[in-house]
Each structure stands twice: as C-alpha cells, then as structure tokens.
C-alpha cells in the first residue's frame, strides 16, 4: 500500500510539470524506482517460460503483441484527436513524447519495465487466484488517475487487461515485460510525428 501511495504522489507531481522540464524526467525516474523497489521488497518474481523452451513463445509472441498494441494506439490517437474535448489530453502526451530523445526514451522504457515488475509482479501475486487480471487492472488504472490525463487511464485499462492476461497465461512477468517494452519503444518512434503543430 505504501508503494502505491508514494508512486501515485510522485506520478501526480511528475505530470504537473510542463513537458520537457528536467523535474518531469527526475520525478518519472523516481516513479520507476518506486515500482522496482516495491517489487523487489515483495520477494522473488516469476519470469515465466524459459527462452530455451522456445524463443517464439517466450520472446517472439510478446514482441509481436507489443507491436500490434502500438499500432492500435497510433490508430486511436489519430481518431481521438478529431474529438475537440479529448484532443488536449492526447496532445499533452504527444508533446511529452517529442521531448529530448535520450531522457524521453529512458523514462518511458524505465517506467514500462518497472510497472510490469510491480503491477503484474507484486500486485498480481498479492491479489491471489480470485480474478487477478481484473483486480490488478483496476489497481493499475486507479494509480494512473494521478496523471490527471483520462487518455492514460483508458490506456491503462486496455493494457492492464492485456498484460494481466499474459501474466496469467505465462505464469510470470517476462511476457508482459517484453510486450510493454516493445509497445513503449514503438510508440517512441511512431508518436512524435503525430504531435501538435505537425
């Protein structure tokens, strides 16, 4: 519970910063550290299937899933930006995605990986066998409310279900981790050209 509170507060502080400001990057790295430390303190986390058992299943499928999910997000962004009431929320994310390449990539990938360690690792395991996908997704989306951006909350619901199903099916965090990192990396490339004033 303490990890969720600290992570949520840091997330709120991070997204209160203007895009491109150093404090945004420092705070989002602090969020990632919070998730990783919280996950590490909870004990060992299962990775799931070994790569030796078949790279297509252990690596290929999660990577392909991440690319497909990124494609769905890009299509959604194009559509949602046509809705006046929602355009501002999406443009805020696009502006952040167009920040300095190295720090933007660092915080995006660090947070993606850290979220899987904590939400599909620690939280998923702590919730037990009763509807862990739905319940871990609810926790994940609730924390994303701290960003103040409804677009991120909606994304958290959709991705939380996807990553949760992967966690349940594979028995570990490797599949959702690879999917999340692939999704994040693909969006770092695909989203900036869609940004405001382009």
- What pLDDT is attached to residue 99? 80
CA dihedral of residues 103, 106, 109, 111 (deg, nearest 10): -80
- For the chain, the domain total comes to 1
3-state SS assignment for residue 44: coil
- Give the pLDDT confidence score for residue 132 in this predicted structure: 95
Q: Give SS3 for 99.
A: coil
What would the DSSP string read from start to end of 87-142? HHHHHHHHHHHTS-HHHHHHHHHHHHHHHIIIIIIIIHHHT-SSSHHHHHHHHHHH
Asked whether residue 83 carries a pLDDT value surpassing 70, the answer given is yes
State yes or no: pLDDT of 51 exceeds 60.
no
Closest CA to 11 of 148, 147, 108: 147
Q: How many Cα atoms within 13 Å fall on the side-chain side of residue 93?
A: 25
**Tokens 């299509």 -> residue:** 75
pTM, rounded to two decimals: 0.90
Tokens read off for 152 = 């991120």
Task: Supply the mean pLDDT for the chain.
Answer: 90
**63-70 average pLDDT score:** 95
* Mean pLDDT in residue range 167-188: 94
Q: Tell me the residue range of the domain where 186 lies.
A: 2-194
DSSP 63-80: HHHHHHHHHHHHHHHHHH
Q: In the chain, what is the greatest distance between 2 CA atoms, to the nearest angstrom?
A: 50
| Range with top average pLDDT, 16-30, 46-60, 80-94 | 16-30
pLDDT in tens, 96-130: 888 888 999 999 999 999 999 999 999 999 999 99
Q: How many whole angstroms separate alpha carbon 168 and alpha carbon 177? A: 13
Give yes or no for residue 65 having a pLDDT over 60.
yes
């Amino acid at each position: 519970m303490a990890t969720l509170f600290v992570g949520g507060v840091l997330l709120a502080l991070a997204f209160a910063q203007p895009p491109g400001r150093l404090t945004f990057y420092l705070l989002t790295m602090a969020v990632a550290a919070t998730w990783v430390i919280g996950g590490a303190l909870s004990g060992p986390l299962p990775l799931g299937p070994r790569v030796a058992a078949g790279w297509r299943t252990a690596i290929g499928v999660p990577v392909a899933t991440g690319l497909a999910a990124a494609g769905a997000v890009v299509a959604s962004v194009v559509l949602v930006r046509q809705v006046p009431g929602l355009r501002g929320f999406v443009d805020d994310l696009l502006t952040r995605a167009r920040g300095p390449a190295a720090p933007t990539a660092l915080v995006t990938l660090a947070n993606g990986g850290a979220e899987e360690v904590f939400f599909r690792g620690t939280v998923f395991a702590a919730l037990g066998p009763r509807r862990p996908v739905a319940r871990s997704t609810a926790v994940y989306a609730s924390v994303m409310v701290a960003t103040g951006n409804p677009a991120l909350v909606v994304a958290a619901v959709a991705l939380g279900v996807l990553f949760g199903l992967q966690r349940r099916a594979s028995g570990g965090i490797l599949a959702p981790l690879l999917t999340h990192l692939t999704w994040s990396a693909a969006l770092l490339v695909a989203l900036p050209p869609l940004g405001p004033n382009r």
